[in-house]
Amino acid sequence: MNMYQENILDHYKHPRNKGKIEGADFQHREPNPLCGDVVEVYVQMDGGKVADVKWEGAGCAISQASASILFESLVGKTETELRKLNTEGVLTLLQTSVNPARLKCATLGLVALQKALK
């Protein structure tokens, strides 16, 4: 199973930047009604750039690891750069092949971020 690469399992077992930011600039909670997975993201901006990202969530390895990996990569990005992020970008970050059936899991963090920016 090449979906469960070392980095995925590592981020699943040791998710980075878990927590909340009170009064965050952007915040959104996105559940996946199909499987009950959930990701809630908090983004703090400073001088037009991402200063801090925290998140909370529960669910499968793919949804949780990809949220952890995606959010870790956001610090220092501008709002415009955040808005440009897409599925392809997330898959590149994950460095693994995701089954079509699990694409929704892999992009749960991305969707949470996109909705937070709305």
Partner 1 sequence: MFDVEKIRKDFPILSRKIHGKPLVYLDSAATSQKPLSVIEATDKYYREYNANVHRGIYAISEEATAAYEGAREKVRVFINAQSVEEIIFTRNATESINLVRFTWGKQFIGKGDVILISEMEHHSNIVPWQLLAKEVGAELLYIPINTETGRLDQNAYKKLLGRKPKLVGIVHMSNALGTLNPVQEVVRLAHEAGAVVIVDGCQSVPHMPVDVRDLDADFFAFSGHKMLGPSGIGVLYGKKRVLETMEPFLGGGDMIKEVTKEGAIWNDLPYKFEAGTPNVAGAIGLGAAIDYLKDVGMKNIWAHEQEMAKYTLKKLQAISSVLIIGPREAVDRGAVISFALQGAHPHDMASIFDDAGISIRAGHLCAQPALAVHGVDAVARASFYLYNTKEEADRFLKTVQKVKKIFGS
Report the interface residues with partner 1, using CB under 8 A: 1, 3-4, 9, 13, 34-37, 59-62, 99, 101-102, 105
Q: Shortest Cβ distance from residue 92 to partner 1 (Å)?
A: 20
How far, in Å, CA of 20 to CA of 65, rounded?
18
* SS3 state of residue 9: helix
Q: Are strands 49-58 and 26-31 parallel, antiparallel or unpaired?
A: unpaired
The one-letter code for the residue type at 71 is: F
- Cβ proximity to partner 1: between 61 and 117 the closer is 61
Nearer to partner 1, 19 or 36 (CB): 36
Asked if residues 16 and 72 have their Cβ atoms less than 8 Å apart, the reply is yes
* Helix/strand/coil for 12: helix
Q: How far is the CB of 58 from partner 1 (least distance, A)?
A: 9
**Choice between 74 and 105, CB closer to partner 1:** 105
What minimum distance in Å lies between the beta carbon of 96 and partner 1?
Answer: 12
